[in-house]
Protein backbone atom coordinates (compact mmCIF):
# COMPACT_ATOMS: atom_id res chain seq x y z
CA UNK A 1 0.00 0.00 0.00
CA UNK A 2 1.12 3.51 -0.82
CA UNK A 3 0.13 6.75 0.97
CA UNK A 4 0.38 10.05 -0.89
CA UNK A 5 -1.27 13.48 -1.02
CA UNK A 6 -4.47 13.63 -3.03
CA UNK A 7 -4.26 14.95 -6.58
CA UNK A 8 -7.02 16.76 -8.43
CA UNK A 9 -7.43 13.80 -10.79
CA UNK A 10 -8.07 11.49 -7.80
CA UNK A 11 -11.44 13.13 -7.15
CA UNK A 12 -13.49 10.58 -9.12
CA UNK A 13 -11.85 7.68 -7.26
CA UNK A 14 -12.26 9.29 -3.83
CA UNK A 15 -15.90 9.97 -4.69
CA UNK A 16 -16.45 6.28 -5.46
CA UNK A 17 -14.81 5.18 -2.18
CA UNK A 18 -16.92 7.75 -0.30
CA UNK A 19 -20.19 6.52 -1.83
CA UNK A 20 -19.42 2.87 -1.11
CA UNK A 21 -18.12 3.60 2.39
CA UNK A 22 -21.01 5.81 3.42
CA UNK A 23 -23.57 3.27 2.25
CA UNK A 24 -21.79 0.48 4.09
CA UNK A 25 -21.22 2.46 7.30
CA UNK A 26 -24.47 4.36 7.55
CA UNK A 27 -27.00 2.45 5.43
CA UNK A 28 -28.72 1.06 8.54
CA UNK A 29 -28.32 4.27 10.55
CA UNK A 30 -29.28 7.22 8.33
CA UNK A 31 -32.10 7.56 5.80
CA UNK A 32 -30.86 6.69 2.30
CA UNK A 33 -31.99 10.10 1.03
CA UNK A 34 -29.73 11.81 3.59
CA UNK A 35 -26.72 9.66 2.63
CA UNK A 36 -27.20 10.39 -1.07
CA UNK A 37 -27.67 14.11 -0.50
CA UNK A 38 -24.69 14.40 1.85
CA UNK A 39 -22.30 12.40 -0.31
CA UNK A 40 -23.31 14.18 -3.51
CA UNK A 41 -22.58 17.52 -1.82
CA UNK A 42 -19.56 16.81 0.42
CA UNK A 43 -17.91 14.55 -2.15
CA UNK A 44 -18.85 16.36 -5.33
CA UNK A 45 -16.17 16.50 -8.00
CA UNK A 46 -15.92 20.25 -7.53
CA UNK A 47 -15.48 20.02 -3.73
CA UNK A 48 -12.91 17.24 -3.96
CA UNK A 49 -10.90 18.94 -6.71
CA UNK A 50 -10.86 22.21 -4.74
CA UNK A 51 -9.79 20.37 -1.57
CA UNK A 52 -6.97 18.63 -3.43
CA UNK A 53 -5.65 21.92 -4.80
CA UNK A 54 -6.20 23.93 -1.62
CA UNK A 55 -4.81 21.37 0.81
CA UNK A 56 -1.64 20.96 -1.26
CA UNK A 57 -0.87 24.62 -0.67
CA UNK A 58 -1.82 25.01 2.99
CA UNK A 59 0.00 23.93 6.09
CA UNK A 60 -3.14 23.54 8.20
CA UNK A 61 -4.91 20.88 6.10
CA UNK A 62 -3.65 17.53 4.85
CA UNK A 63 -5.61 15.23 2.51
CA UNK A 64 -4.09 11.84 1.67
CA UNK A 65 -5.13 8.77 -0.29
CA UNK A 66 -4.08 5.16 0.10
CA UNK A 67 -3.43 3.15 -3.07
CA UNK A 68 -3.21 -0.57 -3.52
CA UNK A 69 -2.00 -1.87 -6.88
CA UNK A 70 -2.67 1.55 -8.43
CA UNK A 71 -6.25 1.85 -7.15
CA UNK A 72 -7.36 4.28 -4.45
CA UNK A 73 -8.89 2.25 -1.64
CA UNK A 74 -8.98 4.80 1.19
CA UNK A 75 -8.56 8.47 2.05
CA UNK A 76 -8.25 10.75 5.06
CA UNK A 77 -8.12 14.46 5.77
CA UNK A 78 -7.02 16.39 8.85
CA UNK A 79 -7.28 20.07 9.71
CA UNK A 80 -5.30 22.06 12.26
CA UNK A 81 -7.34 23.53 15.11
CA UNK A 82 -6.70 26.80 16.94
CA UNK A 83 -4.80 25.19 19.83
CA UNK A 84 -1.13 24.46 19.11
CA UNK A 85 -0.55 20.87 18.05
CA UNK A 86 -4.25 20.02 17.87
CA UNK A 87 -5.89 18.62 14.72
CA UNK A 88 -9.26 17.22 13.76
CA UNK A 89 -9.61 14.14 11.60
CA UNK A 90 -12.30 15.42 9.26
CA UNK A 91 -12.75 12.20 7.34
CA UNK A 92 -11.23 8.77 7.01
CA UNK A 93 -12.88 6.09 4.89
CA UNK A 94 -11.79 2.78 3.45
CA UNK A 95 -13.61 1.02 0.62
CA UNK A 96 -15.81 -1.68 2.22
CA UNK A 97 -14.08 -4.44 0.22
CA UNK A 98 -10.70 -3.37 1.66
CA UNK A 99 -11.60 -2.81 5.31
CA UNK A 100 -9.53 -4.50 8.01
CA UNK A 101 -6.52 -4.74 5.69
CA UNK A 102 -4.59 -1.91 7.36
CA UNK A 103 -5.30 1.04 5.02
CA UNK A 104 -6.96 3.15 7.72
CA UNK A 105 -4.21 2.41 10.21
CA UNK A 106 -1.59 3.26 7.57
CA UNK A 107 -3.25 6.61 6.81
CA UNK A 108 -3.41 7.41 10.51
CA UNK A 109 0.22 6.36 11.04
CA UNK A 110 1.25 8.58 8.15
CA UNK A 111 -0.17 11.65 9.90
CA UNK A 112 1.33 10.76 13.26
CA UNK A 113 4.80 10.07 11.85
CA UNK A 114 5.04 12.94 9.35
CA UNK A 115 3.53 15.54 11.68
CA UNK A 116 5.56 15.31 14.92
CA UNK A 117 4.06 18.62 16.09
CA UNK A 118 0.62 16.93 16.17
CA UNK A 119 0.03 16.31 19.86
CA UNK A 120 -3.70 15.77 19.78
CA UNK A 121 -6.05 14.37 17.14
CA UNK A 122 -9.82 14.52 17.54
CA UNK A 123 -12.40 12.60 15.50
CA UNK A 124 -16.19 12.42 15.64
CA UNK A 125 -17.96 9.15 14.90
CA UNK A 126 -21.60 8.12 14.78
CA UNK A 127 -22.47 6.27 17.98
CA UNK A 128 -24.02 3.36 16.03
CA UNK A 129 -21.02 3.03 13.70
CA UNK A 130 -19.47 0.06 15.51
CA UNK A 131 -16.77 -0.52 12.89
CA UNK A 132 -15.67 3.10 13.11
CA UNK A 133 -15.68 3.10 16.90
CA UNK A 134 -13.60 -0.10 17.04
CA UNK A 135 -11.10 1.44 14.59
CA UNK A 136 -10.50 4.43 16.83
CA UNK A 137 -10.30 2.36 19.99
CA UNK A 138 -7.79 -0.08 18.43
CA UNK A 139 -5.64 2.88 17.40
CA UNK A 140 -5.30 4.50 20.82
CA UNK A 141 -8.21 6.95 20.76
CA UNK A 142 -10.41 7.34 23.83
CA UNK A 143 -13.94 8.68 24.12
CA UNK A 144 -13.85 12.26 25.39
CA UNK A 145 -17.27 13.74 24.64
CA UNK A 146 -20.54 13.28 22.80
CA UNK A 147 -23.21 15.42 21.17
CA UNK A 148 -26.56 15.19 19.46
CA UNK A 149 -26.61 16.34 15.87
CA UNK A 150 -30.03 17.39 14.60
CA UNK A 151 -30.97 17.02 10.97
CA UNK A 152 -34.20 17.94 9.25
CA UNK A 153 -35.95 14.59 9.86
CA UNK A 154 -33.79 12.80 12.42
CA UNK A 155 -31.22 13.11 15.18
CA UNK A 156 -27.97 11.26 15.58
CA UNK A 157 -25.57 10.71 18.46
CA UNK A 158 -21.92 11.49 17.80
CA UNK A 159 -18.98 10.44 19.97
CA UNK A 160 -15.77 12.43 20.13
CA UNK A 161 -12.63 10.30 20.16
CA UNK A 162 -9.27 11.81 21.06
CA UNK A 163 -5.73 10.57 20.54
CA UNK A 164 -2.91 12.24 22.51
CA UNK A 165 0.80 11.91 21.86
CA UNK A 166 2.62 10.66 24.93
CA UNK A 167 6.06 12.00 25.63
**In the chain, domain spans:** 2-164
CA distance 96 to 81: 30
Average pLDDT, the chain: 92
Global confidence as pTM: 0.92
Q: Is 161 exposed, middle or buried (0-12, 13-18, 19+ CB in 10 A)?
A: buried
Helix, strand or coil, per DSSP, at residue 17: helix
Q: Is the CB of residue 121 less than 8 Å from the CB of residue 62?
A: no
pLDDT band at 57 (very low <50, low <70, confident <90, very high): confident
* 66 sits in which H/E element: strand 61-68
What pLDDT, in 10s, does the model give residues 77-113? 999 998 888 999 999 999 999 988 899 999 999 998 8
pLDDT band at 35 (very low <50, low <70, confident <90, very high): very high
Q: Quick one: fold of 2-164?
A: Aminopeptidase (3.40.630)
CA distance 72 to 107: 12
* 36 sits in which H/E element: helix 32-42
Amino acid sequence: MNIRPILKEDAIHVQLVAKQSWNAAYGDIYPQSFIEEFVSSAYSMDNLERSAERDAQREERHFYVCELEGAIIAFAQVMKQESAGEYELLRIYVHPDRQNAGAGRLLLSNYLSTMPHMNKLVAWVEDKNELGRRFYERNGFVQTSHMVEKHEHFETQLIEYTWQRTF
